[in-house]
Chains A and B, each alone.
Chain A
Amino acid sequence: MVTNLPDSRRIDVPPALAVGGIAALVIVALVALVGWISGLLGSEEPPSAAPDASDLTAGTCAADLPQPTWVPDGVTGAAVECPEAISGRIGYLASTDHIGTWVVYSLSGDANAEALPGSAPETWKRADTDGGGIHPAASIVFVAYPGADEISEELHGANVTVDSVDLEDGPKARLTRVDNNGYGPVRLEWTDDDGSYLLLTVVGRTPAGRAGPTVDELIRMASSVAPQG
């Protein structure tokens, strides 16, 4: 009995094509390996921490002062005024030893932007003056008085409310609001072992909405004040 096996057909691959294919496979493997390794390395990086707000005063006279390490998201920058500069503005302050250092934080957003007509006030339109359409830029003022152990005298008035609030892991602060139908100035003042501090803002009424930070944000800023240096 004879079994007929099918013909085994041999495929002849040109050597040049084989070399090219192998080279391509090696390149793809290398690229995949590099990607895999870099992915591994990236996954070992620690999660990015929230930026420290004290970086905003780096290189200024406020850099070594206790100051907020947290600010609201809308804060775009900080302008620092040193005691010597403040004294120089007026010319005859007797001493700079007890003058506070000011950090003025600017805020983003339409409601927080300065809206001034640029014309003489007698020409301002009644709709603008009475509708909140003419207003300053919203800001947060922080003042640090190093070595001081007092806060300012308490304000009084029919539209003034004064409360004591607990700062996180810290002292109590005096919260003063001039409450004009939910708007108006807000002051937060406290002392610790290093000095006396004030945070001031205005909750403003504008056609674009409420201007300034919330009271809770101001308290969180105060809670984040930490010694520097």
Chain B
Amino acid sequence: MAERSTGLVHIAGIVVGVALVAYMVSFGDQARNGWTDRDRVGACDNIAGDTAGGEVLAVQSVLWAVEGYEPVDSKWDRGTENATRAFQSYAGLPADGCVADPTWVTMRALAVSICAPGHDCGGPDHRIALASPVEPREAWFAAADCDWGTYVLPGVARSPVSSGQTYAFREDELEPLGCKD
């Protein structure tokens, strides 16, 4: 009888464990899709945000599409901070120059799937493109299983960023998007 009870407890533990892992994986997908798992970028009060790399490149790409910000070079500077503050103010956020979750999510909500949801068109699959009376401005992104990437068009990319390359949303580093097994 005692052995049977012990077995049931083991099975219950396994079920709970599997459910917990499934929930964590699901939560991770939601966070990655909503850009809420990103690092803080820019002029953050007490904890310094990233000031270079793939996540700065992603922010600058959004700012290019929305406000014509340039250069898109993956390096945070005074101009990036000003453009971030302007974006935050227009979108109803506190203008503090710090790209934390609320700003990341606001930027993510502007990205529209290029390909029909549920299909793969084989390239960058999300785009931000608003109306512009002067020149078309747009930002392109790719969502891989492991991460998101930024594809910067020729004419917009500035050194050390290369056009035609999709860079992962990594902190500090500027790395091509790729999932490691």
Q: Using CB atoms and an 8 Å cutoff, list the residues of chain A in contact with chain B.
A: 79, 81, 86-87, 89-96, 98-100, 102, 104-106, 114, 116, 120-122, 124, 126, 128-139, 141, 143, 145, 147-160, 176, 178, 180-185, 187, 195-196, 198, 200, 202-206, 211
Known contacts A100-B114, A104-B129, A134-B86: A93-B121 contact under CB 8 Å: yes
Min distance, Cβ A87 to any Cβ of chain B, angstroms: 8
**B117/A121 in contact, CB under 8 A:** no
Q: Write out, one digit per residue, whether chain B residues 75-114 have a CB within 8 A of any chain A CB (1) or not (0).
A: 0011110110110011111010000011011101110111
A106 to B129, CA, bound (A): 13
Within 8 A of A (CB), among B116-171: 116-124, 127, 129-134, 138, 140, 151, 153, 164
Chain B residue, CB-CB nearest to A102:
B129
Interface centre among B69, B101, B129 (most CB of A within 10 A): B129
How many residues from B make CB contacts under 8 Å with A?
57
Q: Using CB atoms and an 8 Å cutoff, list the residues of chain B in contact with chain A.
A: 30-31, 33-34, 36, 66-70, 77-80, 82-83, 85-86, 89-93, 95, 101-102, 104-106, 108-110, 112-124, 127, 129-134, 138, 140, 151, 153, 164
**A122/B82 in contact, CB under 8 A:** yes
A165 to B140, CA, bound (A): 30
A90 to B150, CA, bound (A): 13
**B109/A184 in contact, CB under 8 A:** yes
A90 to B89, CA, bound (A): 31
**A157/B86 in contact, CB under 8 A:** no
